Structure 1
Amino acid sequence: MVCGGGAPPQTIRVSVDVLEDLMMLVSELVLTRNQLLQLARNQGDSAFTVPLQRLSHITTDLQEGVMKTRMQPIGNAWAKLPRLVRDLGVELGKKISLEMRGAETELDRQVLELIKDPLTHMVRNSADHGLERPEDRARAGKPETGRIMLNARHEGGHIIIEIGDDGRGLSAEKIKQKVIAQGLATEAEVANMPEREVHRFIFRAGFSTAAAITSVSGRGVGMDVVKTNMERIGGTIDIRSREGFGTTFVIKIPLTLAIVSALIVESGSERFAIPQIGVVELVRVGGEGAAQLERIKDAPVLRLRDRLLPLVNLATLLQLQPAAEEASAFVVVTQVGGHVFGIIVDRVFDTEEIVVKPVAPILRHVTMFGGNTILGDGSVIMILDPNGIARATGLGTEGGEAEPERESGRPSHLLQSDAATALLLFRAGDAAPKAVPLGLVARLEDVERERIEIAGGQPLVQYRGKLMPLVPLSGHWDASMAPERQPVLVFSDGDRAMGLMVDEILDVVEDRLAVDGAGERPGYLGSVVVGGKVTELLDTAWWLRQAGEDWFGGSQRAAGQGRQVLLVEDSTFFRNLVVPALGAAGFVVTAVADAEEALRLRDAGAEFDAIVSDITMPGMDGFAFARVLRDGGPWRDLPLVALTGRVEPEDIARGREAGFTDYVGKFDRAALLESLTQCLAARVEA
């Protein structure tokens, strides 16, 4: 007997951790594929071209297959909304119906988790602010039951979500009155604003038109938080509203946060990636028949199809060396919310699928970056965030953007013991993994064995028109035993560069640095546990010294002239970077771990020419330390330089008030040397 029905679908339970590991492996495969394709392009006609194209197609298919295993219908995030709307209807005394379309639209599980709370808040907002009471709707000629509509759909590699209602809509006049009352804009400015621009004031922090505080909304928080959360995942939010007819919010978010398509550009001799989700079009400026840059009060603009487009010069914004001719460049037209602006870059390369890695904590305060990635040629480049660029320049913002959050009032810099650090994992010498903070690595290179030369027993390679010293991490380099392509970690400072020769690049991970100094040996700060494995943490400064003393700036050795400097820094890691840097410049450095130990040196009669101090330290912080020194004692008049990750204007002002002579950002070695030189010179003249 044969059964007529089809066999039931076969399923199997798989742990989420397994899927995450698969996604990570596919990400690394994509990076390797990109590297192989880059090599094939550089070699031109190669026997590997056809197999590599086949490998590329298979990698893409595999990537899509693994992505499908992470996909979940957006209806999972909507599951609790019907009951929420029913409860809100009872609480608010309103009749509300909820319509959901596109619940089967799938997106990455990670993205789904991040949008659940913002969507819930927006539905509550529609029920409370948007919909009228039944009697008010009847007087307006509307059905007594108000509608809230949710709609989701795929559109070109991203998801469009619409949350709308058929309620009262936004009152532009009420918003204008609130804007003027809060001093956000003048009456004349508001009068000339398009209605859509007026509506976008609701995205400002603390802005609310609610007449009274309720348990549902009107607490002065809400849409600004929703907007910030969407921007954190590379999304945008826009608004359409018509008074008396309703309001609709349109959210555009990426399908996944792991692998995205990006446009590679160059500015100031540095390359960057811009996610294609934020690119509207590319425009070539300068040259015969091309669009021309114009200036309005020294601000660059572009006349694009009879519309003036505000421009941001990326090199100027990031304080890079600008191209000689700004007029002959490219403009990447991007959109943030309802605002369109252009980013001026020097060159445009091709598009590439990139694996998004979290931005190093030392750069978390730089809002222009949304992460970093490794290109096919081994370069570590930053991913630009158009939303962050808009905030940094004042273009396309709703004003008054809050500063980046700081945990427990501490700056998010590389050296916090309680902050996660992006680490580059590799192997060298033995099988044990080793790590170095990613923020210190300028590039990853694969150097052909034939290019490596030996001079004075030192391996060298010609790198960007100069000789770059190579330091073998295993202690010795033998050309006969070396691989055909040698992995190298490149550290650069201005026009100087050196490379560490390693055996294999493993991964980029983000983890907290809990350094165990037991068994410490030269070249290593100690051990950390990364991914469940004991990993040796590189003492970067020690290896840099192996490349030659003048790597840190031998031309500045005379600056120190044997002057005595006291360094007060609680981080062992940072002390190991600063001490040799100052020592190479001719200073004699004494390093202590906290302010209390520094004061004990003072009371014991120790003498110094200058003091460099961290701000955020356990016990007595840098501000209190400065006040104690300035209150009296033998160190009262010494130059006191703050070395910290907090360099906002208010922090600098507070430091000056406490008694610091100068304020220098961490990892800015050149600024520290210049500051010490100037402070000591001024003291001699006085």
Structure 2
Amino acid sequence: MDDLIADFLVEAHEGLEVIDVELVRFEARPEDRAALDKIFRLVHTLKGACGFLGLGRLEAIAHAGETLLGRFRDGRLEVSSQAVTAVLSAIDRIKMILDGLGDLGREPEGDDTALIQALEAFSDGAAPSEQSPVAAEPEPLAADVAAPERTLRPGEVSLEELEAAFLAAEGPVFDAPAPPVETPSAASPAATFEPDQTDSAPEALVSESLGPQTIRVGVDVLEDMMTLVSELVLTRNQLLQLNRGRGDETFTPPLQRLSSITGELQDSVMKTRMQPIGQAWKKLPRLVRDLSGELGKPIELVMEGEATELDRQVLEQIRDPLTHMVRNSADHGLEGPEARRAAGKPEAGLIHLSAYHEGGAIVIRLRDDGRGLDTARIREKAIEKGIVGRAEAETMTEAQVHRLIFAPGFSTAAVVTNVSGRGVGMDVVRSNIEQIGGQIELQSTLGQGCVVTVKIPLTLAIVSALIIRAAGERFAVPQASVQELVKVSADSDHRFEEIEHVRMLRLREQLIPLIDLSEELGRERRHEAKFVLIMRVGAHRFGVLVEEVIDTEEIVVKPLASVLRTIPVFSGATLLGDGSVVLIIDPNGLSDRAGDMPARAQKAIDEAAVWTEAEAAELVSLLIVRVGAGALKAVELSRITRLEQVPVATIQSIGDRAAVDYRGKLMPVLTIEEGQRFVESGSQPLLVVQGMLYAMGLAVDQIVDVVGAKLDIELTASRPGVRGVALVNGRATELLDLDHFMLLALAEHAKGATGGDADGRIAA
């Protein structure tokens, strides 16, 4: 019976989560018959399963709740908030008993008479007595008391007899016709609790013949699979590194095949770990409903993007931050009904939650239409609590003041309540999100509302990274946080400046604060810094000086040793293809360092801005490249997916065409000018452009710079593939027509689809 109880508990909890969501939806739209039918079906099935397993206490509560729902369904009872609250109280009591059942292996003792009487009173159309347990505290679990004895119903057998019958029963004969299925009831052994597959967790039981088949797999099994795949990725990287050093192409084809299979296996395993973010949102409708009643504020919750998927490990980490964010919006953000009417707003406050993919990460945005952040009040509270001094607070910008709400112990609540006021909410949000490599940004307009934007990685296991060198050592930097890579030299257009003892980089007439990574690590710089990584973490944009950018690589994130965990600059470690261990730089740790820049320097930056907002809106980021000895070429940076340095030995010639194994699939490599040749040795620079169905690589001789300029074409195109000639930083520059090359790549893709390439696939 232990296995039956375990399966029942899992399925029951999944179904109760669905009931919570659907009940809140049904209360808001009583005419939604489909929602009511789903709730009734789940409660009815739960009651049948409890009767089948001999769980009398659970069965009695479920039966009383089902009766009340039946009155709603038959139209004999009007839906009221009090009645729905009674059903939700019954669901809460069932959850409490299920927790006890899981801990003790049997139903805990308790008296549910008052709760059942309240449900029956609502079913009869009468108001419940004052002893209604709707708002009562749940009873404690009795861990040391024996299971209650009760008289068996006619036709019911004891648990011991039922278990003996199961053990003695023969297996099913599949050739025989299946007996008709009866309606699940207390005496029907066919009653098993199966929530609707569309609303249950992805790890569902094996389904029937209709619809896709699924199987429940333990989380430990998935974690072990991910660990093995991570080790396989490391081994692949090592083999590729060894093969590059040998200069022998004998092993190139099998290694490319191994790389392709490893990539596909990695994608497949990642899919088993992915879950819709809606799994973390299931409790929010019930939470908002309860907060609405407790705070006396009508609140409407709108959720979009529930199907957006991310790693299960990340999903677990964001449940608490999301809960804190919603509670904070409801309590601090939204005004009361009278204040909203006075401000000309709808009486019901709005909390809008959305999620979507962006650049290899998940963006979660929480927006409310409340009062917004009161900068003056936050500043005074921060001074009062000793978070900042008055002199420092007076020089802080509005955005810097707003970020003080993430400080430990900060709260603007006048009274400590069950909802807020203890100063731990937004601090927990920030710390939990940064622990998984995420970023949080805050925007607020007084009187109009607040927007909190959270950007988190899709997965924590395997990430793309830049391998850089600083202080003579190699480090890995997550590529998702790097906006641009700027090369600096004596003849570069970019120049360094110093304002209020803060080193700056002037990039496209904007001043960006700089961090020297060697100095930050407390090490001496071995060589002159040649590159600046332009990074953005939340609202912070800053540059990181490094000596060299070595390569891009998919890395497997390993946890740090305990002695290194207190260093905020590092988030983990990884093993490179040559077997060496390198530390992973934490962008959030560097952002905190950049955020300590004196406020007067930030003020000087604002005053030194050369471009007006209108002028800046006309600027386009252009990637400048060199091809042959002709004029420089430019392409809009927003159209480029990635900049790659591909070993020239990996570029395959297929007749008069060229392709490269890119992420496990063949990608066509095109040239810009007639007669253009690839580099003879070393790495070939490629501009990777991703279309809707395919990708292509555009070969160039050198990546020169990234600049901001107005796209004013002064000379018409002289040949296909060129849009025209413009003056960029005082130099005549040809603007490439990427659409022309994408059409050529589409033709290559069509050839590959008909079997014209070695592997039968072109990158998609």
Q: Which residue among 156, 165, 173 is the counterpart of 2:376?
A: 173
2:540–2:595 CA contact under 8 A, matched in 1: no
Q: In the alignment, is residue 87 of structure 1 matched against residue 283 of structure 2?
A: no
Partners of 1:46 and 1:271 in 2: CA distance: 28
Q: In the alignment, is residue 340 of structure 1 matched against residue 541 of structure 2?
A: yes
| Equivalent runs, 1:23-102 vs 2, <5 Å | 23-44=226-247, 46-102=249-305
Partners of 2:308 and 2:425 in 1: CA distance: 26
Match of 2:422 in 1: 219
Partners of 2:217 and 2:358 in 1: CA distance: 29
Partners of 1:278 and 1:207 in 2: CA distance: 28
Partners of 1:37 and 1:290 in 2: CA distance: 37
Q: Which residue among 97, 100, 105 is the counterpart of 2:308?
A: 105
Partners of 1:12 and 1:301 in 2: CA distance: 56
Match of 1:380 in 2: 581
Match of 1:272 in 2: 475
Q: In the alignment, is residue 124 of structure 1 matched against residue 327 of structure 2?
A: yes
**3-state DSSP class of the match of 2:249?**
coil
- Report deviation, 1:301: 1.8
Partners of 1:41 and 1:292 in 2: CA distance: 37
C-alpha distance after superposition, 1:567-605 (max 9, x if no partner): xxxxxxxxxxxxxxxxxxxxxxxxxxxxxxxxxxxxxxx
**3-state DSSP class of the match of 2:250?**
coil
C-alpha distance after superposition, 1:318-340 (max 9, x if no partner): 122312434xx211111222111
C-alpha distance after superposition, 1:529-556 (max 9, x if no partner): xxxxxxxxxxxxxxxxxxxxxxxxxxxx
Partners of 1:346 and 1:298 in 2: CA distance: 22
Q: Which amino acid aligns with 1:46?
A: E
- Report deviation, 1:191: 5.0
Match of 2:606 in 1: none
Match of 1:199 in 2: 402
Q: Which amino acid aligns with 2:534?
A: V
Query: Could you tell which deviates more after superposition, 10-19 or 265-274?
Result: 10-19
Q: In the alignment, is residue 11 of structure 1 matched against residue 214 of structure 2?
A: yes
Match of 2:569 in 1: 368
Partners of 2:499 and 2:448 in 1: CA distance: 39
1:279–1:332 CA contact under 8 A, matched in 2: yes
Q: Which amino acid aligns with 2:229?
A: V
**3-state DSSP class of the match of 1:229?**
helix
**3-state DSSP class of the match of 2:450?**
strand
Q: Which one has the bigger strand percentage?
A: 1
C-alpha distance after superposition, 1:644-669 (max 9, x if no partner): xxxxxxxxxxxxxxxxxxxxxxxxxx
C-alpha distance after superposition, 1:215-244 (max 9, x if no partner): 101212221221111111000000111111
- C-alpha change, 1:84 and 1:397, in structure 2 (3 Å) is farther
**3-state DSSP class of the match of 1:176?**
helix
Match of 1:115 in 2: 318
- Report deviation, 1:291: 1.8
Q: In the alignment, is residue 319 of structure 1 matched against residue 319 of structure 2?
A: no
Match of 2:360 in 1: 157
2:439–2:537 CA contact under 8 A, matched in 1: yes
Match of 1:307 in 2: 510
Q: Which amino acid aligns with 2:526?
A: A
Structure 1 gap segments, 5+ residues each: 399-686
Runs of 4+ in 1 over 6 A off after TM superposition: none
Partners of 2:252 and 2:413 in 1: CA distance: 63
Partners of 1:15 and 1:213 in 2: CA distance: 41
**3-state DSSP class of the match of 2:534?**
strand
Partners of 2:368 and 2:498 in 1: CA distance: 42
- C-alpha change, 1:364 and 1:336, in structure 2 (3 Å) is same
C-alpha distance after superposition, 1:160-197 (max 9, x if no partner): 00111111111122223323444555666545544322
1:241–1:247 CA contact under 8 A, matched in 2: yes
Structure 2 gap segments, 5+ residues each: 1-207, 600-764
Q: Which one has the bigger helix percentage?
A: 2
- C-alpha change, 1:16 and 1:6, in structure 2 (3 Å) is closer
2:542–2:594 CA contact under 8 A, matched in 1: no
2:513–2:594 CA contact under 8 A, matched in 1: no
- C-alpha change, 1:211 and 1:361, in structure 2 (3 Å) is same
Q: Which amino acid aligns with 1:215?
A: N
Partners of 1:396 and 1:213 in 2: CA distance: 34
- Report deviation, 1:45: 5.0
Identity score, percent? 60
Partners of 2:217 and 2:389 in 1: CA distance: 58
Partners of 1:363 and 1:124 in 2: CA distance: 35
1:390–1:396 CA contact under 8 A, matched in 2: no
| Equivalent runs, 1:103-502 vs 2, <5 Å | 103-182=306-385, 184-185=387-388, 190=393, 192-296=395-499, 298-326=501-529, 329-392=530-593, 395=596
1:316–1:322 CA contact under 8 A, matched in 2: yes
Partners of 1:128 and 1:212 in 2: CA distance: 12
1:340–1:396 CA contact under 8 A, matched in 2: no
| Equivalent runs, 1:580-619 vs 2, <5 Å | none
- Report deviation, 1:393: 6.2
Query: Could you tell which deviates more after superposition, 347-356 or 284-293?
Result: 284-293
**3-state DSSP class of the match of 2:412?**
coil
- C-alpha change, 1:17 and 1:181, in structure 2 (3 Å) is closer
- C-alpha change, 1:248 and 1:344, in structure 2 (3 Å) is same
- Report deviation, 1:246: 0.9
- C-alpha change, 1:305 and 1:179, in structure 2 (3 Å) is farther
- Report deviation, 1:290: 4.1
C-alpha distance after superposition, 1:621-680 (max 9, x if no partner): xxxxxxxxxxxxxxxxxxxxxxxxxxxxxxxxxxxxxxxxxxxxxxxxxxxxxxxxxxxx
- C-alpha change, 1:7 and 1:92, in structure 2 (3 Å) is closer
- C-alpha change, 1:296 and 1:216, in structure 2 (3 Å) is same
TM-score, scaled relative to structure 2 = 0.49
Q: Which amino acid aligns with 1:142?
A: K
Match of 1:589 in 2: none
- Report deviation, 1:300: 2.5
Partners of 2:369 and 2:565 in 1: CA distance: 40
**3-state DSSP class of the match of 2:480?**
helix
- C-alpha change, 1:384 and 1:195, in structure 2 (3 Å) is same
2:350–2:369 CA contact under 8 A, matched in 1: yes
1:176–1:198 CA contact under 8 A, matched in 2: yes
- C-alpha change, 1:217 and 1:112, in structure 2 (3 Å) is same
C-alpha distance after superposition, 1:2-33 (max 9, x if no partner): xxx99421222222221111111110111011
Q: Which amino acid aligns with 2:589?
A: G
| Equivalent runs, 1:554-593 vs 2, <5 Å | none
Partners of 1:182 and 1:71 in 2: CA distance: 42
Structure with the greater alpha carbon radius of gyration: 2
C-alpha distance after superposition, 1:344-368 (max 9, x if no partner): 1100012111000000111111111
Query: Could you tell which deviates more after superposition, 43-52 or 198-207?
Result: 43-52
- C-alpha change, 1:389 and 1:351, in structure 2 (3 Å) is same
C-alpha distance after superposition, 1:400-447 (max 9, x if no partner): xxxxxxxxxxxxxxxxxxxxxxxxxxxxxxxxxxxxxxxxxxxxxxxx
Query: Could you tell which deviates more after superposition, 97-106 or 194-203?
Result: 194-203
C-alpha distance after superposition, 1:342-396 (max 9, x if no partner): 1111000121110000001111111111000000010100001021233356547
